[in-house]
Structure 1
Amino acid sequence: MAAVVPAAGSGVRLGAGLPKAFVELHGRTMLERAAAGLLASGAVDDVVAVVPEDRVAQAESELAHLRDDDHLVVVTTGGAERTDSVRNGLAALTAHRHHPRAAVYDVLLVHDAARCLTPPDAIRRVVAAVRTGAVAVVPVLPVVDTVKQVDADGYVVGTPDRAALRAVQTPQGFAPDVLLAAYDAAGDVATDDAGLVERTGGRVATVPGDPLAFKITTADDHSRALAELDPGSPDTGALDPGALVPAGPQEEK
């Protein structure tokens, strides 16, 4: 079982002045927490972290303690978009295993570094679903707010039934040949790996997600993460919500 962790995004919306995956939560970066959490689940053998080129040395140093005889932890560089970064991560598995990926791993995960508080049970549910026959699996939560569909001018054009809607989290899990085929067919940018599988006609299953698998995107999310990790402590190291800035079209990878 291997997991690719895209961590090459700039993190503009977080306003920390450095790539989001390298922002700390009580002395540990999101990247290190995400990688350690995957391995600690007992369901993941190898991890590939995909980071900006100028952060490779830092990532190597931070993740070195996770490597042992049973766990391969690889760092590689990201691409211009998230799709490119995941593709680079998949290629890194081949380079280090010296075998076709599908012949080595029976499950591949893709997990956002920004969802670094994801509990082990949530990871195990995704892996178990793939191993029992699903070719693609996403963890989900019910949508509790009313959702409106709007046009380019901001006018409401529809109200989807929220009973049929789900908020998607990571890790997303895949049969290796299905994920690789989806990326081989991908010709444009995608923010959701399961979406690429959908485009190729693959059926995507769901399993229950977890509230702790929320994505740390803004300064408020960062403060929430600090509080979840240590409810009794002040927000030491919290970011300034005033630093919030709109995201550009290529802010996340």
Structure 2
Amino acid sequence: MTSAAIILAAGRGQRAGGDLPKQWRPLAGRRVADWTLARFRASGLDRIVLVLSPDDTEAWHEFEATDLILAPGGADRAASVRSGLAALAETPPDKVLIHDIARPCVTQRVIADVLAALDAHAAAAPGLPVTDALWRGEAAQVTGTQDRTGLYAAQTPQGFRYAAISAAHDAHHGPAADDVEVARAAGLDVAIVPGDPDNIKITRPEDFARAERLLGGAMDVRLGNGYDVHRFCDGDHVILCGISIPHDHALDGHSDADVGMHAVTDAIYGALAEGDIGRHFPPSDPQWKGAASEIFLAHAAKRARDMGFSISNIDCTLVCERPKIGPHAPAMQKELARICDIEPSRVSVKATTSERLGFTGRGEGIAAIATAALVRT
């Protein structure tokens, strides 16, 4: 069954305070929206629709060239959901999840449980049984109590068979608290799957501090290493870490033979347990003959982001007698950083010789060793 998610990010979030809508505010080193999108990108969904306010011109410009499908938000939540559903209508998925962008702490377990429940139900949503005593109040005074039996605190993502929720929204008129309300109004039964106490919705200023603690408390650090070698061949330049350097030989390889960039790329794939360049770009495939190694590195960096990781730092060592690397190292550093979309201060490029020992010492080729550190929180 195919699956998709609609992420609602068109709200203004005024109760959260600040000059920016809450989805664009910083949180634990990233924006709220970045955390949420990373969780869904890592969940194996076929498509993701991001519903944005028509007034968020910077966000539209930022995301229009990504893997996301963009849709304009409406006057209320229900209208925004209908816009997201319409964006999927040409090739409708079997299942669709609808999630609030302001829930950045959602876990893969909750997402997977909702999707799994849709195998047997037309609708499913996570909920937490209410355990605290409930009061009714007025003017800051308790006026009564409320029986909590059978009460649940609703969460997202809420999941539906696409055809069923589309029909329910087409028939619904007026606002709705959430999509479960719309589904039930259309006669759909909604299964409850276990929610997560940490799947909080950022609503008020104090919620940012709690989300920061949650996101900072489950750090996943990965290290990967890469090693590559290319022999010299006839030519007048070499390409190292994306920089063309005049030389009395070139490097021989199926692609552009950028030994430094290949080592960095394999280091990232290694940290992700995703094999090496050959797994993703087989040398037996003629389309990669002479390809720029930037293609490989950009793919590895995007794969890391899609799995929810940030590249913390990269360290690359080039091993050769010639050409001299030092004068070109700053340019290499900037180019690797550009491709990986990280700060140059997180990239190190350096060189060493092998004291005229081995094939590098005899000037027969160049070797490269790289390490990459990835962090997911």
Please name the residue that 1:107 is paired with.
95
Superposition RMSD in Å:
2.2
Instruction: Decide which of 73, 76, 81 is 1:81's aligned counterpart.
Output: 76
Closer, same or farther: CA 134–226 of 1 in aligned 2, 3 Å: same
**How far 1:154 moved relative to its partner?**
7.5
Q: 8 Å contact 2:135–2:142 — kept in the other structure?
A: no
Flag structure 2 segments of 5+ consecutive residues without an equivalent.
Answer: 219-377
**SS of aligned partner of 1:5:** strand
Instruction: Decide which of 9, 23, 39 is 2:25's aligned counterpart.
Output: 23
**How far 1:148 moved relative to its partner?**
3.1
**How far 1:163 moved relative to its partner?**
3.2
Q: Does 1:137 align with 2:124?
A: yes
For residues 170 and 205 of structure 2, the distance between their equivalents in structure 1, rounded to whole angstroms, comes to 36
Instruction: Decide which of 121, 145, 148 is 2:109's aligned counterpart.
Output: 121
**SS of aligned partner of 1:215:** coil
For residues 151 and 175 of structure 1, the distance between their equivalents in structure 2, rounded to whole angstroms, comes to 41
Q: Does 1:194 align with 2:180?
A: yes
For residues 63 and 214 of structure 2, the distance between their equivalents in structure 1, rounded to whole angstroms, comes to 22
Please name the residue that 1:174 is paired with.
160
For residues 114 and 63 of structure 1, the distance between their equivalents in structure 2, rounded to whole angstroms, comes to 21
Please name the residue that 1:237 is paired with.
none
Closer, same or farther: CA 189–226 of 1 in aligned 2, 3 Å: same
Higher Cα Rg, which structure: 2
**How far 1:158 moved relative to its partner?**
5.4
Flag structure 1 segments of 5+ consecutive residues without an equivalent.
Answer: 68-72, 233-253
For residues 87 and 202 of structure 1, the distance between their equivalents in structure 2, rounded to whole angstroms, comes to 17
Aligned amino acid, residue 127 of structure 1: L
* Alignment deviations for residues 131-153 of structure 1 (CA, whole Å, 9 cap, x no partner): 2x111101011212112356899
Aligned amino acid, residue 198 of structure 2: L
Matched pairs, number = 216
Structure with the bigger RCO (C-alpha within 8 Å, sep 6+) is: 1
**How far 1:26 moved relative to its partner?**
2.6
**How far 1:156 moved relative to its partner?**
3.7
**SS of aligned partner of 1:53:** coil
**How far 1:210 moved relative to its partner?**
0.9
Please name the residue that 1:92 is paired with.
87
TM (norm. structure 2) is 0.54
**SS of aligned partner of 1:48:** strand
**SS of aligned partner of 2:113:** helix
For residues 171 and 69 of structure 2, the distance between their equivalents in structure 1, rounded to whole angstroms, comes to 25
Q: 8 Å contact 1:30–1:116 — kept in the other structure?
A: yes
Closer, same or farther: CA 49–151 of 1 in aligned 2, 3 Å: same
For residues 98 and 122 of structure 2, the distance between their equivalents in structure 1, rounded to whole angstroms, comes to 14
Aligned amino acid, residue 7 of structure 1: A
Aligned amino acid, residue 172 of structure 1: Q
Aligned amino acid, residue 118 of structure 2: V
For residues 63 and 27 of structure 2, the distance between their equivalents in structure 1, rounded to whole angstroms, comes to 14
**How far 1:35 moved relative to its partner?**
1.8
- Relative to its length, the structure with more strand (as a share) is 2
Please name the residue that 2:5 is paired with.
3
For residues 221 and 112 of structure 1, the distance between their equivalents in structure 2, rounded to whole angstroms, comes to 15
For residues 153 and 100 of structure 2, the distance between their equivalents in structure 1, rounded to whole angstroms, comes to 15
**How far 1:54 moved relative to its partner?**
2.4
